[in-house]
Amino acid sequence: MNITAVNTLEIRLIEEADQGFELSLKEYAAVFERVPECLGYSVTRSIYETNLWVFSGYWSAESAMTAHFKSESMTALVNHLIASYANLTFASFAPRIGGAAI
């Protein structure tokens, strides 16, 4: 399957993260990977900023990615991050040709 859409969530903690924080992100990624049309999820920690992670999803359909944003599991993740006092930056990407999604 081809990747037709990507979402990223940049997570920056104000305070030092405990050892379980990254593990919890990886657990969410494992749950998200089971969503239909999800091709994979990754958790990448910055080697330069120890309190910065990039959480990325890869999708075979933009519609599946968009539906995922409204899911209970995504809401749970965002609530978890808010409770951790994280600064969040969301982005999503899907190719457009002539104004139409591929």
Tens of pLDDT, residues 21-41: 999 999 999 999 999 999 999
Q: What is the CATH number of domain 5-95?
A: 3.30.70.100
CA 63 to chain centre: 16
What is the reported pLDDT for 98? 57
Are 80 and 89 in contact by the 8 Å Cβ rule? The answer is no
What is the reported pLDDT for 95? 78
How far is it, in rounded angstroms, from Cα 40 to Cα 37?
A: 9
